[in-house]
Structure 1
Amino acid sequence: MHNKEQVSALQLSFMIMLFEIGSTPLFLLGAKAKQDSWLAMCTGAAAGLVLLMLLMWIQHRSRHYDLIGMLVLHFGKIAGSAVGGTYSLYFAYQSMRNVRDLGELTALTLLPNSPMSVTMLIFVGTALYAIWKGTEVVFRLPEVLLPVVLSFYAVLVLLLGIMGSLDFNHLAPVFENGFKPIADAALPDIVSFPFGQMIVFLMLWSLWDKPGVPVKNSVAAYLLISIFLIFMNALNVAVLGPAIAGTSQLPFLKTVRTLSNLKFIERLDILVTIQLYIGLLVKMMLFYFCSVKAIAELTGKPAKWWVFPVGAAIYGASFLERDYTQHIAIGLGPSLKIDSVFQVAIPLLLAVSILLRSWFARPSS
């Protein structure tokens, strides 16, 4: 079950960071906790870290297998293949959500008069080309793009600091209503998005050029990006205040628009949009890649057979939701409930199965 296409530990950590950024800084996650939303992010990140440890342990115990191989190995051929098939659909569904996000964002910010169908087709086509070219190309992208994204964010944060837009009094009082609203906002919602989405790396760690899991790189990338996302969450509240940040469709865009007093720079929101395009494109592409990889493994056919059909299905499905309001309502409602099955319940079953298998395999004294 060794894979010819291999990636380095550094490529994996860059991919984790860019994948986790995705569209996350765009929204105020944990808005229900108001000024404590950043604490809800901390709670979600901590729970996500526990989940990451579980996923890495599962990978460590099934070194040469990816998620599909593990499911077939531990659940048996029929049940394992059936669950693997639903994972392939789940990854394609997540990819579709990102395609729709990209389409809606373009219509909202940069190209209000261009048909969404065209912009979404361009995005799917770009991802399709990268996946068609293979694993190496997919994993080379974050090496180029992550420094760009982080430097853009750094510039915007610096400008917000210089302009005196930041008012950290907006983050007080801390723990105003105790820990319960924070926990309610974090679990399961913030764990599902973005931290629980690390489930895709069970499809990718087996591509590492050494057996096992790059634990240090994976944990370091996860911790760094969690701190960044918590900071961006606090930043939105510090600039806009909890009321406006919580009700705004795209709070980070609004935050950056507060810099419009800068006479020497105009249309800074284009910077934000570019960052989000990069983040969303990588996220969409990785889900798409994992969907193709899963279905190729289940059918025993080469991945290239499936790149076009899966891409077409993702593109077609991205039109199913009526409008942006419905898209967000489904994304932050029923979708998060499905997530916990794929991100938590099935990995837990896998872990139990691994433990039972090793228990029964022990020679009796």
Structure 2
Amino acid sequence: MQQARDDKLAFSQVSIGMASFILGAGIVSLPRSAGEAAGTPDIWISVLLAGGIAILFGCVCAKLNQRFPGLTIYQFSSLLLGKPIGYLLNFVFITYWLIMAAYELRMQAEVIRHFLLDRTPIAFTSLCFLAISAYLVLGGINPIMRLSEIVFPITTIVIMGIMMLSLKSFDFNHFRPVLSDGITPVLKAVKPASLSYLGFETILVMGAVASEPKKLMRAVMIGMVFPIVIYSITLVMTVGTLSVDVVKTLTWPTIEVIRSIEIPGAFFSNFELFFIVVWTIQIFTTMVSGYYYASLGVSYMFKTELKYVQYGFFFVIYFLALYPEDLNEAFSLGDTVGNLSMFTAGAIPLLLLLISSIKGHGKNGKNNA
């Protein structure tokens, strides 16, 4: 079995790896999902609130991992709860990351078919990207993090740059009046907004190979700040350009905003193509990470060679990605990820931290099991 601890991740790699995992399909779907839930232009408040909640639970995950240095969630769950219950929780995480990888793969293929290759079957596009991801996953966690280090800064610059180009069509009146319907619509949109921040729980695996485990809390907070800023700016520019009434009726509102950008006399005008290319590479890193974390869990639990698990999960992820018959069913796959995240990113880490504190496991950075 390949041991994750053989590969050490620097502080910057942990932060960027987390931020890169979070910055996935939410870029193109967050304005619509939050707009549908709230129905008011106050969804920017929901996005900020969701970001604050994500940071809080991210710190819970980091604190839990610090109590078991060198171990992943797949290992210390059994130390705290025993093998039967620990393995049950591990299966929840494995299922979560598998479905996450499949969802990101399907969203990637859907956007490409809709805007770039309308005559290319989703099955073929998905197969190509999954084959490339399998090659990267077989290399281990370091190549995945190195790819994230290269892609994430480029993605950030491109998204922020393109969003700024839409300032010409931006209208502050689309956000007035603030809290016209009270705080209730804002709270309704917190849950769908929170789904876009999923990924901070990866610290439960990455933390085991962090070169500076004492800085995990700081790494989580830094890794969360970038997605919060990017999502907030993207949502504000999208709603400010189109209005929330229009945004909640569009499948990919962010891309529609980019398509509407016109610069007279500009040499390049199809900014959505540039955005989609960069975003496709970015969402690829999210898919690859989910693929790797799920494979690692099975490898640890059953003492199986990691590469064999990765070969097997290739077909599982491909099947899950193609199982939805249409886009609405594909979005339902995302809802499944969200439902599972209430356990993987919320309830389970918090429960394990409380149990470890009560029992004294991992106190002062040592495992007392």
> Which of the residues 49, 52, 64 maps onto 1:46?
52
Distance in 2 between the 1:318 and 1:157 partners?
30
Whether the aligned pair in 1 keeps the contact of 2:96 and 2:340 (CA below 8 Å) is: no
Partner of 1:294: 297
Partner of 2:228: 226
Query: Superposition pairs for residues 167-186 of structure 1, below 5 Å?
Result: 167-186=171-190
How many Å apart are 1:213 and its aligned residue? 4.4
- Unaligned 5+ runs, structure 1: none
Distance in 1 between the 2:340 and 2:156 partners?
31
Distance in 1 between the 2:10 and 2:356 partners?
27
Instruction: Give the partner amino acid of 1:290.
Output: Y
How many Å apart are 1:212 and its aligned residue? 4.2
Q: CA RMSD in A?
A: 2.0
Instruction: Give the partner amino acid of 1:128.
Output: A
Partner of 2:210: 208
How many Å apart are 1:82 and its aligned residue? 2.4
Runs of 4+ in 1 over 6 A off after TM superposition: none
Whether the aligned pair in 1 keeps the contact of 2:258 and 2:271 (CA below 8 Å) is: yes
Q: 1:262 to 1:294 in 2, by over 3 A?
A: farther
Partner of 2:367: none
- Unaligned 5+ runs, structure 2: 364-369
Distance in 2 between the 1:15 and 1:118 partners?
28
Partner of 1:69: 75
Whether the aligned pair in 2 keeps the contact of 1:205 and 1:213 (CA below 8 Å) is: no
How many Å apart are 1:222 and its aligned residue? 0.9
Q: Deviations over 1:194-231 (max 9, x none)?
A: 22431122111111123444322321221232122111
Q: 1:157 to 1:335 in 2, by over 3 A?
A: closer
How many Å apart are 1:310 and its aligned residue? 0.8
Whether the aligned pair in 1 keeps the contact of 2:101 and 2:290 (CA below 8 Å) is: yes
Partner of 1:132: 138
**Residue 330 of structure 2 corresponds to residue 327 of structure 1:** yes
Question: Would you say how many aligned residue pairs link Structure 1 and Structure 2?
Answer: 357
Q: Which TM-score applies when normalising by structure 2?
A: 0.91
> Which of the residues 344, 347, 354 maps onto 1:345?
347
Distance in 2 between the 1:330 and 1:208 partners?
31
> Which of the residues 195, 198, 213 maps onto 2:197?
195
Shifted more, 207-216 versus 240-249: the winner is 207-216
Q: Which TM-score applies when normalising by structure 1?
A: 0.92
Shifted more, 110-119 versus 74-83: the winner is 74-83
**Residue 280 of structure 2 corresponds to residue 280 of structure 1:** no
**Residue 114 of structure 2 corresponds to residue 112 of structure 1:** no
Instruction: Give the partner amino acid of 2:286.
Output: K
Q: 1:296 to 1:330 in 2, by over 3 A?
A: closer
Distance in 1 between the 2:66 and 2:226 partners?
22
**Residue 99 of structure 2 corresponds to residue 96 of structure 1:** no
**Residue 62 of structure 2 corresponds to residue 56 of structure 1:** yes
Distance in 2 between the 1:88 and 1:251 partners?
31
Distance in 1 between the 2:339 and 2:5 partners?
33
Whether the aligned pair in 2 keeps the contact of 1:166 and 1:238 (CA below 8 Å) is: yes
Distance in 2 between the 1:214 and 1:335 partners?
25
> Which of the residues 132, 155, 160 maps onto 2:161?
155
Instruction: Give the partner amino acid of 2:225.
Output: L
> Which of the residues 255, 258, 261 maps onto 1:256?
258
Distance in 1 between the 2:72 and 2:214 partners?
11
How many Å apart are 1:274 and its aligned residue? 1.4
